[in-house]
């Protein structure tokens, strides 16, 4: 049982403003595994004040040389890495992510991202001098945007936190982190690592909350200079509206309904292993996965059989067991949602070829069998809406042009994949898919390159040098040559 009775604000463990608590429940067993304070607006105010103070300190983090910041970020990376197994354990217990996946995304990736951004910012000059087009020169400065509210969901809580925290710290910003109430225990572990790494007080603050109240308060807080959000499209729209009104910079990583296009030359015997990660990663609770499988009509029965066989063979079980590839979904509400989509798929004429129910051997935990729907077209609800569970639809197409048209016929545009024996042909199709990222014969997210969505999948990009730029403001300092810019005395007529 994990028990915390304080929040991490201003570099200290401080008493929360309210006696209310959040109970944390294991998705695989339904047992209570932790209790933490439930933050309220007053806690968010205290966290923002601490972050503000740290940012405004004239000799503080924002003004440290990049190399000095990088050294501190390396210390934090070491402290996180020392807790890698515990991060994996906590995340998998809370949200049902199989440990085999969590070890990479939640255990290893956060420290890697911190080191990447520490190195990147230490190498990139903060100022550049340009020859002015008019007179003298101009110094173009990259300055930190300020206090950042980082609001993250429960599906990949640590890696999605670090998509924000690492570039924000590298840029010189200070951060208030608001985790989802389902995944708070890993956020408290992160706070412990921050404390051990001896970062300046107020640089990283963690405030909990349940529902949207604390997050919404942070978004509208006058002392928050930028919002970095990952979560549902619905919440993203609300946050975008608020930030638009306040003219506050915002990055939004939202939902997806990506297409996996199997070209007619695909070798299914080689492809199915990689397909698992590209379509069902983290029990289907991954924003970028290809949940619409587009199959050539000539090979439709073969593709349906291959996916059905893959789904039926996946080991479903407790997320903490090494053999598990499909764990439970994160919450009972999420299971209700997924089951409602399965019922809708059936009602709309879809034919279930694998799964479709709860695994009979698992009586505790929020499990759903990996499920495949055939005989579905792209207009059905299960092909249009994000399900966020282990449910795939296989949709037929006639030729490459139709495959691209169906892939692009979506409100979303986050990920996608193309599967083919000819990678050049795959690249050509990938260029035509209207989305933020596409994989050819696999989908391995590259932290050195930008990631994000188009359409209802979001605004802006995280990761890569572009992800650092999202935490910087540009300032031009004009240095006209002497005399220029000064009004000339008029000669007397
Ligand atoms: P959610 O939008 O309900 O909540 C995400 C976070 O935002 C939580 O911390 C929540 O408390 C907070 N929040 C909710 N409403 C808010 C508001 N109006 N103002 C401020 N904060 C608010 O999402 P979820 O159910 O936790 O996560 C699942 C969703 O996240 C899925 O739609 C998924 O596709 C999306 N997601 C997207 C990406 C991506 O990179 N594009 C990655 C992971 C998850």
State pLDDT tens for residues 201-236: 999 999 999 889 999 999 999 999 999 999 999 999
- Bridge partners, 385 (sequence order): none
Average per-residue pLDDT in the chain? 96
Please say if the pLDDT value at position 485 is more than 80: no
In whole angstroms, what is the distance from residue 379 CA to residue 48 CA? 45
- Quick check: 332 pLDDT over 90? yes
> Which of 44, 231, 244, 457 for a ligand 1 pocket mutation test, highest count of atoms within 8 Å of Cβ?
231
What is the structure's pLDDT at 482? 80
Rounded CA separation 86/74 (Å): 19
Instruction: Kindly report, residue by residue over 35-47, the tens digit of the pLDDT.
Output: 999 999 999 999 9
User: Who's near 237: CB < 8 A, 6+ residues apart?
Assistant: none
Q: Is the CB of 106 under 6 A from ligand 1?
A: no
| pLDDT at 23 > cutoff 60 | yes
With a 6 Å cutoff on the Cβ, whether 284 touches ligand 1 is: no
Distance from C-alpha of 450 to C-alpha of 179, rounded to nearest angstrom: 23
Tokens 């390396």: give the residue. Answer: 74
**Among 91, 106, 150, 153, which is best to mutate for testing ligand 1, by the most ligand atoms less than 8 A from CB?**
153
Is the pLDDT assigned to residue 487 strictly greater than 70? no
As a whole number, mean pLDDT of residues 235-257 equals 98
CB 408 near ligand 1, within 6 Å: no
> Using an 8 Å Cβ cutoff, are 191 and 215 in contact?
no
- Round to whole Å and give the CA distance between 144 and 202: 16
Nearest CA to ligand 1 atom 26: 153
What percentage of the chain has pLDDT greater than the value 90?
Answer: 96
Q: Which structural domains are found in the chain, ordered by start?
A: 2-254+457-478 (3.40.605.10), 259-440 (3.40.309.10)
Q: In the chain, pLDDT over 70 holds for what percent of residues?
A: 98
Name the pTM for this structure: 0.96
232 C-alpha to center of ligand 1: Å? 4
Cα–Cα distance list, 275 to 44, 191, 310, 311 (Å): 42, 36, 9, 10
Residue nearest to atom 36 of ligand 1 (CA): 231
Is the model's pLDDT at 100 over the cut of 70?
yes
Determine if ligand 1 sits within 6 Å of the CB of residue 54: no
DSSP readout, 246-267?
HT--EEEE----EEEEE-TT--
Cα 43 to ligand 1 centre (Å): 21
- 224 Cβ inside 6 Å of ligand 1: no
Token pair for 292: 């619409």
Q: Tokens 């035509």 appear where?
A: 432
Residue 493 has pLDDT above 50, yes or no: no
Q: Is 455 in the pocket of ligand 1 (CB under 6 A)?
A: no
Which of the residue ranges 24-33, 121-130, 171-180, 432-441 would you say has the lowest mean pLDDT? 121-130
- In this structure, are residues 322 and 311 in contact, taking their beta carbons and an 8 Å threshold? no
Q: Has residue 484 got a pLDDT over 70?
A: no
- The residue nearest atom 23 of ligand 1, judged by CA position, is 231
Average pLDDT over residues 316-334: 98
> What CA–CA distance (Å, rounded) separates 379 from 423?
29
Distances (CA, A) of 50 to 14, 206, 208, 248: 12, 11, 15, 20
* pLDDT surpassing 50 at residue 185: yes
pLDDT digits (tens, 9 = 90+) for 266-306: 999 989 989 999 999 999 999 999 999 999 999 999 999 99
Cα(201) to ligand 1 centroid in Å equals: 28
Instruction: Report the atom number in ligand 1 closest to the C-alpha of 209.
Output: 11
**Which residue among the candidates 3, 128, 196, 253 is catalytic per the annotation?**
253
Q: Does residue 285's CB lie within 6 angstroms of at least one atom of ligand 1?
A: no
**Rounded distance from Cα 231 to ligand 1 centre (Å):** 2
Give the per-residue pLDDT at 199.
97
Confidence band of 491 (pLDDT split at 50, 70, 90): very low
Collect contacts of 79-88 with beta carbons under 8 A, ≥24 apart: 79/193, 79/194, 79/196, 79/197, 80/110, 80/111, 80/114, 80/190, 80/193, 81/108, 81/111, 82/193, 83/189, 83/192, 83/193, 84/108, 84/111, 86/189, 87/158, 87/186, 87/189, 87/190
Indicate the pLDDT class of residue 173, thresholds 50, 70 and 90.
very high
- Which atom of ligand 1 sits closest to the CA of residue 236? 2
In the block, tokens 């007179």 appear at: 135
- Return phi, psi of residue 162, to 5°: -75, -25
pLDDT of residue 483: 60
Tell me the average pLDDT across 351-378. 97
What pLDDT was estimated at residue 492? 43
Q: How remote is the CA of residue 152 from the centroid of ligand 1, in Å?
A: 6
User: How many CB atoms lie under 10 A from the CB of residue 216?
Assistant: 19
Q: Write the DSSP symbol of residue 107.
A: I
Sheet with strand 458-459: strands edge to edge: 12-14, 7-9, 204-206, 174-178, 147-151, 226-230, 250-253, 458-459
The ligand 1 atom nearest the CA atom of 451: 40
CA-based radius of gyration for the chain: 24
Residue pair 190/161 in contact (Cβ under 8 Å)? The answer is yes
386 pocket-lining for ligand 1 (C-beta < 6 Å) = yes
Ligand 1 centroid–CA 485 distance in Å is: 50
Q: Which of 22, 229, 235 has most ligand 1 atoms within 8 Å of its beta carbon, as the pocket-test mutant?
A: 235
Q: Could you tell me how far CA 300 lies from the centroid of its own chain?
A: 33
Question: Which tokens belong to 465?
Answer: 């040098």
Element (H, E) at 353: strand 351-354
CA of 153 to the centre of ligand 1 (A): 5
Contact 460, 229 (CB under 8 A): no
Catalytic, 128? Answer no
The residue whose CA has the least distance to atom 33 of ligand 1 is 255
Task: Note the pLDDT tens digit of each residue in 369-405.
Answer: 999 999 999 999 999 999 999 999 999 999 999 999 9
Length of the chain: 493
How many angstroms is it from 381 CA to the middle of ligand 1?
21
């Amino acid at each position: 049982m994990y028990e915390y009775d304080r929040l991490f604000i201003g570099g200290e463990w401080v008493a929360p403003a309210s006696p209310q608590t959040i109970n944390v429940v294991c998705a695989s067993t339904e047992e209570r595994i932790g209790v933490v304070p439930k933050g309220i607006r007053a806690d968010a105010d205290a966290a923002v004040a601490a972050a503000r103070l740290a940012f405004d300190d004239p000799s503080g983090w924002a003004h440290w040389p990049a190399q000095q910041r990088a050294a501190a970020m390396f210390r934090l990376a070491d402290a996180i890495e020392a807790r890698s197994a515990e991060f994996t354990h906590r995340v998998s217990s809370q949200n049902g992510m199989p440990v085999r996946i969590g070890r990479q995304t939640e255990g290893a990736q956060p420290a890697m991202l911190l080191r990447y951004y520490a190195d990147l910012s230490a190498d990139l000059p903060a100022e550049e001098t340009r020859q002015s087009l008019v007179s003298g020169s101009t110094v173009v400065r990259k300055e930190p945007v300020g206090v950042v509210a980082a609001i993250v969901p429960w599906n990949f809580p640590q890696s999605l936190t670090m998509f924000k925290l690492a570039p924000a710290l590298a840029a010189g910003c200070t951060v208030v982190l608001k985790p989802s109430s389902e995944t708070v225990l890993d956020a408290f572990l992160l706070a412990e690592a921050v404390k051990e790494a001896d970062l300046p007080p107020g640089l990283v603050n963690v405030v909990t909350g349940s529902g949207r109240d604390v997050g919404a308060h942070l978004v509208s807080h006058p002392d928050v200079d930028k919002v970095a959000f990952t979560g549902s499209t619905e919440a993203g729209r609300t946050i975008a509206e608020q930030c638009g009104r306040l003219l506050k910079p915002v990055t939004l990583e939202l939902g997806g309904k990506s297409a996996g296009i199997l070209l007619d030359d695909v070798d299914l015997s080689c492809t199915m292993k990689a397909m698992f990660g590209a379509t069902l990663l983290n029990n289907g609770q991954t924003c970028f996965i290809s949940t619409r499988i587009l199959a050539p009509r000539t090979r439709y029965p073969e593709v349906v059989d291959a996916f059905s066989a893959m789904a039926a063979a996946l080991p479903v079980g407790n997320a903490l067991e090494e053999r598990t590839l499909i764990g439970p979904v994160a919450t009972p509400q999420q299971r209700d949602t997924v089951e409602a989509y399965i019922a809708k798929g059936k009602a709309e004429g879809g034919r279930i070829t694998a799964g479709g129910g709860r695994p009979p051997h698992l009586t505790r935990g929020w499990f759903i069998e990996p499920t495949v729907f055939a005989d579905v077209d792209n207009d059905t609800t299960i092909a249009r809406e994000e399900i966020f569970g282990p449910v795939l639809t296989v949709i037929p197409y006639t030729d490459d042009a139709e495959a691209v048209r169906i892939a692009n016929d979506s409100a979303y545009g986050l990920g996608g994949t193309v599967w083919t024996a000819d990678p050049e042909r795959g690249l050509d199709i990938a260029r035509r898919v209207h989305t933020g990222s596409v994989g050819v014969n696999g989908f391995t997210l590259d932290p050195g390159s930008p990631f994000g969505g188009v359409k209802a999948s979001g605004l802006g990009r995280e990761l890569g040098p572009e992800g650092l730029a999202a935490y910087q403001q540009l300032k031009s300092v004009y240095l006209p040559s002497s005399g220029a810019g000064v009004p000339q005395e008029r000669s007397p007529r």
